[in-house]
Amino acid sequence: MMPMAPLRLPFATLSSGDMDLAGGFQAVLEGWGLAPDLAHALWLPLPMLLVLAAALVGVLASVWMERKVSAAVQQRIGPEYAGPLGILQPLADGLKLLVKEDVIPARADSLLFTLGPVLVLVPVILSWLIVPFGQNLLISNVGVGIFLWIALSSIQPIGLLMSGYSSNNKYALLGGLRAAAQSISYEVPLALAVLAVVMLSNSLSTVEIVQQQNSAGLLSWNIWRQPVGFLVFWICVIAECERAPFDLPEAEEELVAGYQTEYAGMKFALFYLGSYINLVLSGLLVAVLYLGGWGFPLPVEWLATVLHQPLSSPLVQVVTASVGIVTTVLKAFLLVFFAILLRWTTPRVRIDQLLDFGWKFLLPIALVNLLLTAALKLVFPTIFSG
Amino acid sequence: MSLALSTQLVCFLLLSGALLLGALGVVLLPNVVYSAFLLGGVLLSMAGLYLLLNASFVAAAQVLVYVGAVNVLILFAIMLVNKRQPMEPMGGLLLRRLLSVVVCLGLLALLVEVALTTPWELPGPPSIGEEALIRIGEHFFTDYLLPFEVASVLLLMAMIGAIVLARRDVLARDVVTGEPADQALLERQRTPVLPSQGGSSPSAPSPQ
């Protein structure tokens, strides 16, 4: 039996200054006569469920946006009968997928065929662990922060390979291999771009990365210090989400639907869900890394001083927290909107162009960006380090 | 026993169970694809054990390097090679199996001996948790500088070797056999579809 140190994960305090939701909740439960341990255990699933629900609502919103924006790009109307402006269309889509027959091809490997979509979805959902919506509004402020996301997203290719292989279909296998090759190639410049940001803020934690950008509102966002890194990260994130112009793994003209070819019903829905959760997550992470996260373009502290409100008053705290959540979501969905526009207006690249672009263009650029950031950090320590 | 400690115990038992069963599966299953996927599971459970020991950076690095890179590479190799040749019964299979069992048991005995005779400090040094990242960096650039640099040179050599092997067709002589290389596989320059746009550089041959 190995000796066990007590596990210290700074789980879910959800407190904002004096506003300590976790403490309050546990105090109420303890007031009812529950043990502190049990009260804590009852608190733990709440933020996780909340974030999961937020992710699912984000998926519904982005699916609706995708349908409406694609319609506008192609001068159609798009969904309009399900709810006002067709806003219930994604729900109808989900319901349809839920009641469809779940087909497993006769010659497929049923175990791996079922496990594949799960392995694609779970790491994406787990990555929401580190997305901050405010100072303490995140599930877990783990020290490895953004590195955890990079590590988790490297599990995804295994799920893609698994579903491609187990479908027993040549299109699926080719699609799975392409997907894995693509996400491995673009992971490298992605990690290098993140490394440059981490170098600026001296921390891997997403909370500290945002805090370091919020000293002067809009002007102190990382996008001004890392314009090249921002572009590299954005391109890589689009490629990791397998969206056009990088949607080769499911290129209809060549591969039917790539690794999803044999999937139907709920298993297909898992892929669909995974790709949109990943899209919203990518938007959030671009906002966190480069656009100041929950920070309002004008610093909220400055606004409060102008309005003669003390920062510690409960009203200001609630307003600050809400403004933080709304700003984060707005920034993320603005980026999702750009990703959708990009998908419906750009042609698909070829596989050799894709790999050339990743290895011969983005990788050197990301390396130069990293070296330049390190050099600038040494020369101008006031601007380039925290 | 407090709730946190019992949760930890349950996690430890589950992870070690998954690790042992997975490792046995990697060795014993006849289908090599299952073995490769199970290897990924084993490496993930190992990362879970690191996480239980409060070494979150090591856990994340384990997932990134072993699951995300090594295991994916193994799977790639299996799926790209996909050679369906009939297996011929090998001579002296029994002897081979016996020999490998003896070697493995010897290794096991050696490891158990080491584990039992080492004076383990119980309880071990307190974990430094989130400070670990800084401490690892300090070690890399002070007392472990030489291994760190040697490892990077090793990786560079492996990379150059891989490039030379992959691009054997552009060399005039084969690096392995020394014979003139077969240039027939080299992709021809594409003739542009539209003659008016002639002179546009054809894309490089795909690196696949």
pLDDT tens track for B33-59: 888 899 999 999 999 998 888 888 888
Which residues lie across from A156 on neighbouring strands?
none
What does B179-197 look like in DSSP terms, one character per residue? SBP-GGGSPPPPPPSSGGG
Higher pLDDT: B13 or B192? It is B13
Q: Calculate how close chain B gets to A144, using CA atoms only, in Å.
A: 6
Is B73:A163 a contact under the CB 8 Å cutoff?
no
Is A187 in the B-facing interface, judged by CB distances under 8 Å? yes
From chain A, the residues in CB contact with B12 under 8 A are 2, 4
Q: How far apart are CA A124 and CA A278, in angstroms?
A: 6
Between positions 211 and 230 of A, the ones with CB within 8 A of B are: none
Tokens of A265: 């019903």
Interface touch B123/A5, C-beta < 8 Å = yes
Between positions 28 and 57 of A, the ones with CB within 8 A of B are: 37-38, 40-41
Tokens of A283: 């938007």
pLDDT at A14: 46
User: To which residue do tokens 């320590």 refer?
Assistant: A381
pLDDT tens track for B178-208: 766 655 555 555 566 666 544 444 444 444 4
Higher pLDDT: B153 or B85? It is B153
Interface touch A3/B63, C-beta < 8 Å = no
Q: Calculate how close chain A gets to B104, using CA atoms only, in Å.
A: 24
Q: Where are the beta strands (DSSP E) in chain A?
A: 15-16, 19-20
pLDDT at A376: 87
Residues 6+ apart with CB under 8 A from A53: none
Residues 6+ apart with CB under 8 A from A282: A237, A238, A240, A241, A335, A339
User: Residue A287: how many CA atoms within 13 Å on its side-chain side?
Assistant: 29
Q: Calculate how close chain B gets to A320, using CA atoms only, in Å.
A: 28
pLDDT tens track for B47-97: 999 888 888 888 888 998 898 888 988 888 888 776 666 667 677 788 888
Q: Calculate how close chain B gets to A97, using CA atoms only, in Å.
A: 28
Interface touch A356/B12, C-beta < 8 Å = no
Is A30:A335 a contact under the CB 8 Å cutoff?
no
Interface touch A151/B61, C-beta < 8 Å = yes
Chunk chain A into consecutive blocks of 10 residues (it has 386) and report each block's average pLDDT, rounded to whole numbers: 39 46 74 75 80 88 90 86 82 86 83 88 88 77 83 89 86 86 87 90 84 79 87 91 80 77 85 90 91 80 76 76 86 91 87 84 91 88 70
User: To which residue do tokens 């594409």 refer?
Assistant: B190
